[in-house]
């Protein structure tokens, strides 16, 4: 059996499907994904973790915070200011960073209890 990812037509079809999904996403979701990726990049550059498990955990916390909480806060900010997509970008970034900070706080609390 051949590898379907090495077939140029199959690879092209996969890229086309991905582009169609991105084109069909609402602009706000795209902004939240972009702000989540930017937050992950900033976190990786300025506060890298030695453990890959911690990096993945913090990255997922940031992504979920950016998408779910950022969407909620972005909607509230956009309603209040009329800033449009910029409100979602800012809220996604801030809430993603907040999610990472929350995971760090929970992890420190749990580790302190285990040491006692």
Tokens representing 51 are: 């453990």
Instruction: Kindly report the backbone phi and psi dihedral angles of residue 111, in degrees, each rounded to the nearest multiple of 5, phi listed first.
Output: -65, -35
pTM for this prediction: 0.58
Give the tens place of pLDDT for each residue, 33-77: 777 777 777 777 777 777 778 777 777 777 777 777 888 888 888
Could you say which DSSP state residue 7 is in?
A: S
DSSP E strand boundaries for the chain: none
Tokens representing 79 are: 């309603």
* Burial zone of 9 (CB within 10 Å; 0-12 exposed, 13-18 middle, 19+ buried): exposed
Could you say which DSSP state residue 48 is in?
A: -
Instruction: Kindly report the backbone phi and psi dihedral angles of residue 37, in degrees, each rounded to the nearest multiple of 5, phi listed first.
Output: -65, -40
Tokens representing 94 are: 């801030």
Q: Is there a contact between 40 and 57 (Cβ–Cβ < 8 Å)?
A: no
Give the tens place of pLDDT for each residue, 16-38: 887 777 677 777 777 777 777 77
């Amino acid at each position: 059996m051949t590898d379907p990812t090495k077939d140029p037509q199959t690879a092209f079809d996969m890229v086309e499907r991905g582009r169609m999904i991105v084109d069909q996403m609402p602009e706000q979701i795209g902004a939240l994904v972009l702000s989540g990726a930017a937050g992950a990049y900033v976190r990786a550059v300025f506060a890298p973790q030695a453990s890959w498990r911690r990096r993945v955990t913090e990255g997922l916390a940031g992504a979920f915070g950016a998408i779910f909480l950022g969407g909620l806060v972005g909607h509230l900010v956009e309603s209040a200011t009329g800033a449009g997509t910029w409100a979602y970008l800012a809220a996604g970034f801030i809430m993603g960073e907040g999610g990472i900070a929350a995971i760090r706080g929970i992890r420190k609390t749990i580790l302190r209890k285990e040491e006692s």
